[in-house]
Structures are given as C-alpha cells and as structure tokens.
Structure 1
Amino acid sequence: MDSDAWHRATLALELLAIDPGLGGLAVRARAGAIRDRLMARTDPAARRIHPAISDEALFGGLDLSATLSSGQLVQRAGLLDAPATLILTMAERCTTQLAARLALALDQGQAHCLIALDEGAEPDEALNPKLAERLAFHVDLSDVSIRDTDTAQRGKTGALQDVTHDPDLIDQITGIAAQLGIDSLRAPLFTLRAARAHAALFHRTRVTAEDLEVACALTLAHRATQMPESTPEQEEPEQSPDQPESESENETFDLPDELLLDAVRALLPDNLLDQLTAQKAKQGRGSGSGAAHKGNRRGRPLPSRAGKITDGARIDLISTLRAAAPWQTIRRNATGRDGLHIRTADIKIKRFEERSDRLLIFAVDASGSSALTRLAEAKGAVELLLAQAYARRDHVALVAFRGTGAELLLPPTRSLVQTKRRLAALPGGGGTPLASGLLMAFEEATQARRRGLTPTIAILTDGRANVALDGTGNRKQAAIDAQQIAQVVRANGTDALVIDTGNRPEPALRNLAQTLDAVYLPMPRADAQRLSASVATALGD
C-alpha cells in the first residue's frame, strides 16, 4: 500500500534520529507537497547541499575576504567539520567525486546523516550505488498521495545504549541477507542497528521479534538481488514439561527465518530482475555521452591548477587571490610597498571538461536465421534509437551483415531521414557472417576515434554465426573468427553492446559479450519499444 511507504519513510527518520550511525535515507520522490511534508520531519538544523557543491564548502578553506581585510590567515569551517544532517537535493545527479567524499564522511563515523532526495524520472536515473550502499534505508514515495501523510509523530524515545540483543542474532541476519543475494557486510550491520533503534523507539531494553522483522524489511528489501526461495514448513518441536510456556521480553527469542523472509519478500518489487539488469547495464557503461577529456574553453568547470599566462589561457581570479592571500603580510614587509602582491606562482588557470561527440554504430543481423518479424522489431528499435540519437546530436552509422560479408549501409551521419531510408531498405536472408559485421563496425569505430569521436558498437543478432571471415560456410571457424575480432575490439577500448534477439538466449553470444566486455541483453520476446528502451538504459541515456 502507498501508506506503507509513507510509514516506512517516517519510521526511518525516527530511527536515524536515535542512531545516526545508520547513515541515512534515500528518498525516491519528485519535488512536491509529499516530499516537503517528509522533510518537515527532519532535523530543523539540517543543511541542504547540491550536486555541484565545492570541496571548500564541504571541508572548509580559506576565507578570502576576511584574510585580505585583516592581513592574517582566516580559515572557514566546512559542512563536514561538525556532525550534521545533510539533505542532498537532485541526488540522481551526484557526481562520482561528490559521492566518494560523502561516503568517506559517513565511513568515518562522525555521526553525519545524509538524506538523499532522488528526483530521477527514469529507472536508470538513481543515486550513486556506492553512496546508496552506505545509507541504511530507501523508500519510494512516487505513488504516495497526500491523504497518506496524516500520521502523528512520536514523542520521547528510550536510550539506545540500554538496548541489548541475542549474541546469535547477527548470524541469523547474515543468513537472511545471503538468501536475498546481498553480498555487502554493511547490510546485516545496518539491520542489527535498526533493530536496536526500533527497540529504543518503543522503550524496550532488548531486541524482540517485532524489532527484527521491521529492521529486516527496512534495510534488506531494497538491497535484494534475488527472490528468496520458499522453504517447507517444519513442525515445531514439542515443549518439554520443564520449559516455561512463555518467556519474558528480556529473554532470547527464536524467530524462524521464513517469517523474516516473508517480511522482506512482501516489499520486493515485481520487476526486481528488470531493475537489476538496468542498473547493471548503467554501471557497466557509465555515462551515455561521449568520453570526457580536458579542455580550456567550454564544458563543466574543473578545479583550477597552477599555470602560466599564455595564449588561450584563462585566469581563475578567485583561486589566484586565494593562493596569494596568505603571503600578503610577508610580501608587504619585504618590499615596503602597500597594495596587493601577486607572484607568478600564485597564478591559477581555469580548466573545463568537455565531451566529444558520440558515434553509435549499429551492426544489424539481416541473415535468414533472424526471422522476418525479429528483423522488423530490430529495425523499429533502431529507428527509435536513431530519433533519440538525433535529439542528442549524436552521429550514427549502420552496418548490415548477411550472406557472406558485411556492408556499410550508412557512414557516420546526423541525417535522421537518410538513416531511416537506408534502414527501411535493409533486406533479409542468407548466412550470418557475424565476424565480418563486427570487423566492419570496428573499422568504423577506429576511424571515428581518429576524428575525435567516441564510438560505441551496438550488435543486434541471434548469435548463430555460420559464415567465417573468409566467406566460407564453417560454423566452427565463424565462432573462432568472431572471438578473435572481439578480443581486438576490447583491447582497443571500444565500448560495445550485444543484444541477443533469438528465441532463446544463445550461450555463444553471451561468451562473445564477455570477450567484448560488453553489456549482454537477451531479449527473445521484446518488441521495438522495449528493445530501444533497454539499449538506451545500457548506454546510460
């Protein structure tokens, strides 16, 4: 139920207030009244940060104006100098560098707490996984209505240090995490801390079965990578006459693993496997745009560096003044002159990160083994991807392989109309010269890289290669040729994507994807829309 998501979100905030060592909460919700009501329950002293925040704001640095006015070195404190609750807006845009800095602050155990507001609209737009791993809780409020938010806040809670637990409890939690496919050791530790915080929330001095069940649901459900298997019910052992019928709250308890798994299983999404595939593809390929390289004229600003005033160089005035400020008193005394003293060593040069254009090379299987309907779906998917590439101003090339060889139907271009015309005229039939298609796509990728483009090869095939590189019908040699070319492509550092369009996944094609170090997408029953969406996700668009 949607109200359950709101209850989990508010409960997570209460547990974080008791134990900041739980790291924080990742909230999947767009900006609006629902999210505002949740943020109203956070610490009033919480500080908001954004993905473009500087290192100086986080860790502190030189107070330039105070230093210049006083003539003495004045340092300014950063947000991470003292324990605080940080609210990261637009968390799905958090850079790898910022995620690493926040993760380091959380790992140091200085009672920092992070509330990450994930505003992503697509499944592949999400918080950095390394940072998300350090947050105990995750909740999705996308489907919560305003009626579900009318819940009262609890009053005073118990003391966390007074809560004890069964020493064997950690073994049981670790076993539950293993059954859910969770390989992180942080997860069971978060579960134990959440159980203790939940017990303190209800003024209990020992972790109970209810505390453990709630903690497992809050900390393990969103981390699961596999559906837990149901275990057969076992008969409960008969109670001996000498054993008391009931145990007090402060005694140990024995909660079956199946009950804990049921609590987690109830929160697992129906499309868990699809979400994991999309996340894996996103992590494997990185950004969907062209490769980043350093420039001096446009793009995202990078930290400035020491340099000389040359043609085309742009001085970072603030950084230059900041470098010169600590030496002003010494330089004035040495020269006997007032005013601002700037030396060559103080000069800082601006740097920018610009991205090259991307070339998306489609290598489409047009052989007879690809049924006409599958070829039509592949054409439809390519057309949808072409429209997206055109909107991003990417370059597109089209290679078709059939019969005894491959053909470059369309050299790198930005013309959407011309590309669609060539694709519509693509015939089907004949053998599957997969090696020839891969070789021609690689040759185009090599030429594109020389022109400053960032190439990516997308292969659409059923994987039944039966034509060798020399044009002969030799299935064994065809597989060897494809593997050899794949090794060359990987050694060259060219990104690739392999889409298996066969009726069932082809092991040989999976091995080819492993050789290419490429994302492998088996899509036996996918239409054009799903094909294009999966490719776009794998490319990080």
Structure 2
Amino acid sequence: MPKHFPFSAVVGSDAGLDSNPMALALILTTISPEVGGVLVRGEKGTAKSTIVRALAAVLPPIEVIAGDRFSSDPRDPAPLSPDGPFAADAASETRPVRLVELPVGATEDRVLGSLHLERALSEGRTEYEPGLLARAHRGILYVDEVNLLHDHLVDVLLDAAAMGRSTVERDGVSVEHAARFVMVGTMNPEEGELRPQLLDRFGLTVEVAAPRDPALRVEVVRRRMAFDADPDAFVASYAEDERALTDRILAAQKLVDQVELSDVALLRIAEICAALEVDGMRADIVMARTAVAHAAWHERSEVTTDDIRAAARLALPHRRRRNPFDAPGLDDDLLAEILGDDEPDPDPDPGPGGGSDSPGESAHGDRSEADATEVDPAAGQSAQSAGRSAPGTPATPGATYRTRLLAVSGVGAGEAGRRSRALTASGRRVGAARPVDRFGAPHLTETLRAAAPHQRGRGRESGPIRFRGEDLRVAVREGRESNLVLFCVDASGSMAARTRMEQVKTAVLSLLLDAYQRRDKVGLVTFRGTGAELALPPTGSVDVAARRLRDLPAGGRTPLAEGLLEVTRVLDLERIRDPRRRPLLVLVTDGRATAGPDAVARSRRAAALLAARGVTTVLVDCETGALRLGLARHLADDLAAEYLPLAEVSADALTGTVQRSIRQGAA
C-alpha cells in the first residue's frame, strides 16, 4: 500500500493547526461531522490533495458490524443496511476510517451502486452492488476538482448530503442504506466555479496559496524530497506526532457533546450572520457546530469569543451575499466590530485570503487580478462630449439580465451540461448499445432481443433463456452537454461610444453568466487597432473572463479579418485538445472592417475560412441609431451565422418581440 505524506509533516501544521486554516478546518469537521465537510479553493501546486489524503491516517479507527458491507455502527439500534437485520449480539470489528475518492468522470451507477449485471444474467439473481457512497459511510468522501463534477453527480451528492442516506430505485433494485460522510472537495477557481447548491452544502471553506517566504519554500521542497527519497523513513520520523494528533482528535470527539453553547454565544453568532447578510439559516447552524468543535479541540467546556471568531472565518466566506462573479470573502473589520474587539488580533488567522500552501503552508494571499491595459495610439483622439470614452478608459457595464438560449445545432456527445442536445449518462432513454464498462442501466428488452436468436445454438430446448456477456445492452440517453463558448468582441473605435460599449459589455457579461449556469468553458478574443488578441484562453473560470471583459478598453481601427483568423486558430487548437466539446462562437461587432489594405475583402475571405469549419456562430449586431449600414447582417451571411441584434440578446426582449408579432398577426 503506498505511503501518504504525513499530516503533521505539512509545513505550517507543525507550528500549530490554528495557524493553518486548511488543516484546522479538516480537523474540526472530523471532530463534528455534522459541520458538513470542507471545500478547499486554491491555485495548482498548493498540496490540497496531499493534506486531504493524509487526513485519514490520523483519524481514530471506527467500530463496525463484522461482515457488513455498509459499515453499520454496532451501537445503532436500527442500522440502515441492506445486509441486515443483525442480531443484538452481532460480532463487531475495528477498522481505519476510509477515504473514498470520487472521480470527476464517474458514472451515476458507480456512485450509487446498481444491479450486479453479471450475476443477473448468468445466475438469474437480483443482487445489489454497492457504490462509492456506501463505501464512504462513516468516512471521508474526497472529490478532487469538485467544480468539474458533472451535474447529475452533483444532484446525487446533494440528495445524500441532505438525507444522510442513499436510495436506489432502478432496474428491479430497491435499496436504501445510510450514507453519512465528511465531504471534502478541492478546486482551482481558475478552472471554473462551483454550483451554488453544492457550495452551500460544504460547511467550511478555505483559500490556499503558495508561500512567498523563501525560507518556507525551501522547507517545503526539503521535506518533499526527503519523503520521495525514502517514504518509510520519513513517515516513521513523524510517527510520534501522528499518534499525538490522533489522541487529541479522539479526546475532542469525546468532549464535543459536553461543550456548552450559551444563549449569549448563540446571539452573537446570529448577529454576525445577520450583519454579513448571509443567505438562509444554514450558516447559523454550521457556525454554531464549528464553534463547539473548535472549543472541544482546545479542551474547553464552553464556547468563547475565540471559537466564534474561528468559526466565522471558516463557515461564512462562501455564504455571504455577493454578485455572480465575486470571489468568496469575509470582512475582517466588520467581524471584529461585531465581536467587540478593541483592536485586531496581533496574529489573526489568514481567513479567506490565506490557507495551506505546498504542501500545506498557510499564507496571506491576495488573489485579486488587476489586468494592465495599454492605450492604442490609434485611439488617442480626445474624448468628445457626445459620450465617446476617453482612450484606454474601460466602459462600465450595467446590471446583467437573463439571456435567450444559444445552442449548438445537432446532437453531440460531450460533457454533461445544460446547453446543447447530446448523448449523455443521464436524460431520457432513446436507444440501446453495448456497454463500455460493466456499469450502466441495462435495457432489458434489447438484451432479450440480442440473446433470442442464439438460443438454439446454445442448446436451449426449454427453461430459462441462456444469456452471455455479449448479449448485454445498456440504455442510450439523450440529455444536455456543455460547450466551449468563444466570445469574439470588437473593441475598435467604432464601438468606443460609451453608451454602446456599456451595452456590449452588459450583454456579454449576461451571456457569461448564462455560460456559468450551464457549466460551459469560455474563451475571449478581442480585436482593435492593428491586430487581435486571445485575451483569455478557453477555461472553466467564467469569473476571470468577466474581469478581463470589464477591463477591456476600446479604440482604434477595426481589424475584423485578424479577429476572425484568431478565432479560427483558437478553435482549431481546441478541437485537438478537447475534441468532444463542441464550440459555439459568439461574435460581437458592428461588421465594420477598416484596418489595413483591402480590409473588407480580407474579412470576407477570413469569414469564408471560418464558415468552412462548420462552427455554430451567433453574430450579435452592435450597430445602433437611425442610420445603419447593415454590415453585420452581410457578415452573418458570409459566416452562415445566426443574426441577433444587440437589443434581442435579452430573453425578455425576445419574448416581447414574439408577443408583438402574434398580436399584429391577430389584428
């Protein structure tokens, strides 16, 4: 069995877990599993996975009923286990706490469990094969890159987290078993955000960043190289620290039910949640449980202000009310004011801006991004009082709105999402096929149909039908997929009128919000002056695209051909990198082409080249005013694109247009 890096060897944890928010959050949620798990957000290479995998080794072992596949507690008077019922004097055994990893690409059957197909076909027996949730009961369920988890698996986790049990009703199987686990998720925010419903199910959240102190970085590298060189010797050198940590966790688990949470402490928790405008009541409950666990960790029998402060910093950052593209955070000054602190702590916990660094060091990290912008010399004219933006000054977008659905034509086979039609693991059943693996919902009618022609050759004269493995057929389902939504935005001088650019940015931000909700990847290409730029390579992080768009200046000539050629290059590259994800191009322009010789002719050739790729394209026409040239409509024809006026991007505006047309037709 491979050795894991010791929990107590993580740089920062050895100085005391209170200085390492990630380690502290993991410990508190194991002391009191009702807290609800931990979400760890941070950049790549910060040892998020290392410290999570090390956690299971320091947890006290648990007692289970011997032979029970569902880890039932012998002290439970009515264990919810399909292997039951059990005798009152059933034998028990002790085993380590399991850390079960849920792969991002797992199937729903693998997570929930399903009919044991081989035994059903070969022996005619209906038997349930437990899934990952059954194995994770009373343990830790770890999801690396949890923000990339498919929506149908997110729904499964939400149900299990809310009910504390898993129910399977399918394919002749009706099973219910307990599924109470500590859910730990890690994610890199640059690859996309988490669905709000799942985010709220994590009790605690921490931000991690790599240390900036050279001495700490040296120590991280030294320990990692020592572990890689001789894992056994390195683990043995921390054995005593690991045992001490296990004993302390066990003592806290025994004490947690005896900690007193006074009315004064509850009132203070409620005041903090109200002042920070958190949504719902789950924040109050989680914060109270975390404060109690923190008191037990410090061997206190009563919750103090320090416990409440630590709980607020871990339980509230991801629950405060915020705009769609804002990162989680907490106002430490307001927290100190509510708690009545006369002055800030001399050495406060890093809170949402700091966390475990590689491999687990705590650090204060400002993750805000300020993109520098250059002023195009061609945009150097003075701003006019008529409303043209000053050169290099980005226009501020307005409030986002609900957009109409833009989808890729045809039926794809990409990652599950919410945009275009596709063959996916979930959805309505549209056919049957041979299984790729042994998991999947069997299509019984098609399985019988496949086996029927071979019964004589298999020697069947009477009795049950004789099946073989090659007869098995599983359901083919049609659902929705996520797409690559590539935005190409004209930022030239013809778009620089402040009112127009504000409208453009508002529309694109609204489409970005729609892409976030539909779990798409997004990219951003801009063109102005003399060339085009890939402002944001395709990514799942919609909030980064929103920041780049807000900071986008406008001015200069319109290199339309260069913009279309850059889009073609990006799409060709992405087709190689991610061939299953179909692209949707959203081109935002007024159709002008003014940069370089033969600008119009080169633009038409570039449009023809892009159209030959067969990419579904939507052209958003930004031309406004009484006098219009209609160039964008001609460009849409060249691209074989759907033409969409800027005013009709809003779903409400489109609905109003349709209703007016119906009324006029009726009149």
Structure 2 CA distance, aligned partners of 1:445 and 1:227?
46
* Alignment-mate amino acid for residue 56 of structure 1: D
Conserved in 2, the CA contact under 8 Å of 1:62 and 1:73?
Answer: yes
Q: Kindly tell me: are residues 125 and 70 of structure 1, through their superposed partners in 2, closer, same or farther at Cα, counting changes over 3 Å? A: same
Shift of 1:207: 0.6
Shift of 1:87: 0.7
Report the equivalent of 1:16: 29
Greater relative contact order: 1 or 2 (C-alpha under 8 angstroms, separation 6 or more)? 2
Conserved in 2, the CA contact under 8 Å of 1:165 and 1:206?
Answer: yes
Structure 1 CA distance, aligned partners of 2:39 and 2:428?
35
* Alignment-mate amino acid for residue 41 of structure 1: L
Report the equivalent of 1:157: 251
Q: Kindly tell me: are residues 220 and 437 of structure 1, through their superposed partners in 2, closer, same or farther at Cα, counting changes over 3 Å? A: farther
Report the equivalent of 2:203: 136
* Alignment-mate amino acid for residue 189 of structure 1: I
Shift of 1:133: 1.6
Structure 1 CA distance, aligned partners of 2:441 and 2:162?
33
Report the equivalent of 2:71: none
**Superposition pairs for residues 375-386 of structure 1, below 5 Å?**
375-376=555-556, 386=567
Report the equivalent of 1:97: 152
* Alignment-mate amino acid for residue 92 of structure 1: N
Provide the secondary structure at the position in 1 that maps to 2:158. Answer: helix
Shift of 1:196: 0.5
Q: Kindly tell me: are residues 359 and 195 of structure 1, through their superposed partners in 2, closer, same or farther at Cα, counting changes over 3 Å? A: closer
Structure 2 CA distance, aligned partners of 1:77 and 1:201?
35
**Superposition pairs for residues 159-308 of structure 1, below 5 Å?**
159-224=255-320, 225=322, 228=331, 255-256=339-340, 267-268=352-353, 270=366, 291=408, 294-295=411-412, 301-303=424-426
Of the candidates 466, 469, 483, which is equivalent to residue 340 of structure 1?
466
Conserved in 2, the CA contact under 8 Å of 1:25 and 1:138?
Answer: yes
Gaps of 5+ in 2: 1-10, 60-96, 165-178, 212-216, 224-237, 323-328, 354-364, 372-397, 416-421, 499-528, 530-552, 576-582, 593-599, 611-621, 658-667
**Superposition pairs for residues 341-490 of structure 1, below 5 Å?**
348-351=474-477, 360=487, 362=489, 366-367=493-494, 370=497, 374-376=554-556, 386=567, 388-389=570-571, 391-392=573-574, 395=585, 397=587, 399-400=589-590, 413=607, 415=609, 433=624, 490=654
Provide the secondary structure at the position in 1 that maps to 2:286. Answer: helix
* Alignment-mate amino acid for residue 137 of structure 1: L
Structure 2 CA distance, aligned partners of 1:106 and 1:232?
29
Structure 1 CA distance, aligned partners of 2:367 and 2:399?
16
Of the candidates 96, 106, 120, which is equivalent to residue 67 of structure 1?
120
Q: Kindly tell me: are residues 207 and 261 of structure 1, through their superposed partners in 2, closer, same or farther at Cα, counting changes over 3 Å? A: same
Conserved in 2, the CA contact under 8 Å of 1:86 and 1:113?
Answer: yes
Conserved in 2, the CA contact under 8 Å of 1:195 and 1:215?
Answer: yes
Conserved in 2, the CA contact under 8 Å of 1:398 and 1:410?
Answer: no
Question: Over residues 269-306 of structure 1, what are the superposed CA-to-partner deviations in whole Å (9 max), with x where a residue is unaligned?
Answer: 7566989xxxx99998999x964864579976434865
Shift of 1:436: 7.4
Q: Kindly tell me: are residues 306 and 361 of structure 1, through their superposed partners in 2, closer, same or farther at Cα, counting changes over 3 Å? A: closer
Q: Kindly tell me: are residues 361 and 368 of structure 1, through their superposed partners in 2, closer, same or farther at Cα, counting changes over 3 Å? A: closer
Shift of 1:220: 1.9
Shift of 1:182: 2.5
Shift of 1:222: 4.5
Provide the secondary structure at the position in 1 that maps to 2:20. Answer: helix
* Alignment-mate amino acid for residue 314 of structure 2: L
Question: Over residues 142-175 of structure 1, what are the superposed CA-to-partner deviations in whole Å (9 max), with x where a residue is unaligned?
Answer: 3144736999553232322111212243343233
Q: Kindly tell me: are residues 314 and 65 of structure 1, through their superposed partners in 2, closer, same or farther at Cα, counting changes over 3 Å? A: closer
Provide the secondary structure at the position in 2 that maps to 1:13. Answer: helix
Provide the secondary structure at the position in 2 that maps to 1:67. Answer: helix
Shift of 1:85: 1.3
Structure 1 CA distance, aligned partners of 2:104 and 2:335?
48
Report the equivalent of 2:193: 126
* Alignment-mate amino acid for residue 114 of structure 1: M
Conserved in 1, the CA contact under 8 Å of 2:161 and 2:201?
Answer: yes
Question: Which 10-residue stretch deviates more, 161-170 or 29-38?
Answer: 29-38
Q: Kindly tell me: are residues 489 and 174 of structure 1, through their superposed partners in 2, closer, same or farther at Cα, counting changes over 3 Å? A: same
Report the equivalent of 1:468: none
Q: Kindly tell me: are residues 130 and 399 of structure 1, through their superposed partners in 2, closer, same or farther at Cα, counting changes over 3 Å? A: same
Conserved in 2, the CA contact under 8 Å of 1:27 and 1:117?
Answer: yes
Conserved in 2, the CA contact under 8 Å of 1:9 and 1:139?
Answer: yes
Shift of 1:195: 0.1
Taking structure 2 as the reference length, the TM-score comes to 0.49
Q: Kindly tell me: are residues 485 and 303 of structure 1, through their superposed partners in 2, closer, same or farther at Cα, counting changes over 3 Å? A: closer
Report the equivalent of 1:116: 185
Report the equivalent of 1:107: 162
* Alignment-mate amino acid for residue 40 of structure 1: A
**Superposition pairs for residues 521-536 of structure 1, below 5 Å?**
none
Gaps of 5+ in 1: 235-253, 417-430, 460-481, 494-541
* Alignment-mate amino acid for residue 166 of structure 1: S
Report the equivalent of 1:51: 104
* Alignment-mate amino acid for residue 115 of structure 1: V
Report the equivalent of 1:147: 219
Question: Which 10-residue stretch deviates more, 23-32 or 366-375?
Answer: 366-375
Structure 1 CA distance, aligned partners of 2:183 and 2:404?
24
Taking structure 1 as the reference length, the TM-score comes to 0.58
Report the equivalent of 2:522: none
What is the alpha-carbon root mean square deviation over aligned residues?
Answer: 5.6
* Alignment-mate amino acid for residue 85 of structure 1: I
* Alignment-mate amino acid for residue 91 of structure 1: V
Shift of 1:21: 1.4
* Alignment-mate amino acid for residue 251 of structure 2: T
Report the equivalent of 1:474: none
Structure 2 CA distance, aligned partners of 1:177 and 1:125?
27
Conserved in 2, the CA contact under 8 Å of 1:364 and 1:401?
Answer: no
Q: Kindly tell me: are residues 46 and 307 of structure 1, through their superposed partners in 2, closer, same or farther at Cα, counting changes over 3 Å? A: same
Structure 2 CA distance, aligned partners of 1:273 and 1:33?
22
Structure 2 CA distance, aligned partners of 1:324 and 1:282?
49
Q: Kindly tell me: are residues 304 and 366 of structure 1, through their superposed partners in 2, closer, same or farther at Cα, counting changes over 3 Å? A: closer
Report the equivalent of 2:53: 39
Question: Over residues 225-277 of structure 1, what are the superposed CA-to-partner deviations in whole Å (9 max), with x where a residue is unaligned?
Answer: 4774967999xxxxxxxxxxxxxxxxxxx9427879996896457566989xx
Structure 1 CA distance, aligned partners of 2:261 and 2:430?
59
Conserved in 2, the CA contact under 8 Å of 1:27 and 1:140?
Answer: yes
Q: Kindly tell me: are residues 191 and 434 of structure 1, through their superposed partners in 2, closer, same or farther at Cα, counting changes over 3 Å? A: farther
Report the equivalent of 1:79: 132
| Total equivalences in the alignment | 414
Q: Kindly tell me: are residues 300 and 209 of structure 1, through their superposed partners in 2, closer, same or farther at Cα, counting changes over 3 Å? A: same
Shift of 1:96: 1.9
Provide the secondary structure at the position in 2 that maps to 1:86. Answer: strand
Shift of 1:128: 3.0
Structure 1 CA distance, aligned partners of 2:336 and 2:587?
58
**Superposition pairs for residues 485-500 of structure 1, below 5 Å?**
490-491=654-655
Q: Kindly tell me: are residues 392 and 297 of structure 1, through their superposed partners in 2, closer, same or farther at Cα, counting changes over 3 Å? A: closer
Of the candidates 317, 323, 329, which is equivalent to residue 444 of structure 2?
323
Conserved in 1, the CA contact under 8 Å of 2:434 and 2:473?
Answer: yes
Provide the secondary structure at the position in 2 that maps to 1:117. Answer: strand
Provide the secondary structure at the position in 1 that maps to 2:190. Answer: coil
Q: Kindly tell me: are residues 488 and 283 of structure 1, through their superposed partners in 2, closer, same or farther at Cα, counting changes over 3 Å? A: closer
Q: Kindly tell me: are residues 296 and 396 of structure 1, through their superposed partners in 2, closer, same or farther at Cα, counting changes over 3 Å? A: closer
Structure 1 CA distance, aligned partners of 2:33 and 2:630?
55
Structure 1 CA distance, aligned partners of 2:559 and 2:482?
29
Conserved in 1, the CA contact under 8 Å of 2:40 and 2:186?
Answer: yes
Question: Over residues 30-80 of structure 1, what are the superposed CA-to-partner deviations in whole Å (9 max), with x where a residue is unaligned?
Answer: 367563244212355111111221222222210112333433211112232
